[in-house]
Amino acid sequence: MIYYLNGIAEDILDDAIIINVNGIGYMVRSSTKTLSNIHKNKDIKLYTNMIVNEKDIQLIGFLSSQDLEMFNMLTSVSGVGTKAALNIQASLTNSEIIMAVLTGDAGILAKAQGVGKKIASRITLELESKLKNHKIFESTISPQQNLNLGQASSVKQEAIDALLTLGYNKAEAIRAVMEVTLENMNTEQIIRTALKKLSKT
């Protein structure tokens, strides 16, 4: 098992990178988002997962261990292969993926290329309990965001319901309310502040 590779980015392809490690060139597949942050002929460290099947052996790599953990979580879902997981990670941040799962917003996941509603719904169902108890949740979601989504106070819930009425989806509404400083704020103040945040996104 190769946990990471440390070497020089010798070439960057459409869906992979060639990393030179002490004269040996490893082809490592990754998301387009990861590849866009890699610079040719520069030193890099890639956290990797080796996938072995009957037809091929592939290395999948990311610049952070959190991205690798998220990839492993996504591919643990039945029906989610390497390509689908990488496409999700190319279009969403880890925080956005977690929020989509915890709020049951399969629509956001389904926006990724090649990910249908059926697979997106399966991801939200199978990963909800896993993510809540996984270290990636604590390392990705800030303490301010880390509230119990199922037990939001009445003030927070009223603000979320109001944003839903205004046409925002569930994930957007919850994320915006979670990012608001709630101390001594009433529902109207939370809604106004959340709307300002949403207008900037």
- pLDDT band of 132, cuts 50, 70, 90: low
Q: What's the pLDDT score for residue 131?
A: 75
Phi, psi of 10 (to 5 degrees): -80, -35
**Residue-level pLDDT at 153:** 56
- The full 3-state SS of the chain, as one line of letters, equals CCCEEEEEEEEECCCEEEEEECCEEEEEECCHHHHHCCCCCCEEEEEEEEEECCCCEEEEEECCHHHHHHHHHHHCCCCCCHHHHHHHHHHCCHHHHHHHHHCCCHHHHHCCCCCCHHHHHHHHHHHHHHHHCCHHHHHHCCCCCCCCHHHCCHHHHHHHHHHHHCCCCHHHHHHHHHCCCCCCCCHHHHHHHHHHHHHHC
Query: Residue 89 half-sphere exposure, CB side, CA atoms within 13 Å?
Result: 31
Of all residues in the chain, the percent with pLDDT exceeding 70 is 86
Contact 120, 109 (CB under 8 A): yes
With a CB cutoff of 8 Å and minimum separation 6, the contacts of 130 are 73, 76
Q: What domains can you pick out in the chain, each with its CATH number? A: 4-62 (2.40.50.140), 65-140 (1.10.150.20), 149-200 (1.10.8.10)
Surface-to-core class of residue 136, CB atoms within 10 Å of its CB (0-12 exposed, 13-18 middle, 19+ buried): buried
Q: What is the pLDDT of residues 14-62, one digit of tens each?
A: 999 999 999 999 999 999 999 999 999 999 999 999 999 888 899 999 9
pLDDT, one tens digit per residue, over 71-112 is 999 999 999 999 999 999 999 988 888 878 877 778 889 989
First to last CA, the chain: 40
Contacts of 198 (CB under 8 A, 6+ apart): 163, 168, 172, 176
Q: What is the pTM of this model?
A: 0.71
| Cβ within 8 Å of residue 94, ≥6 positions away | 66, 67, 70, 136, 140
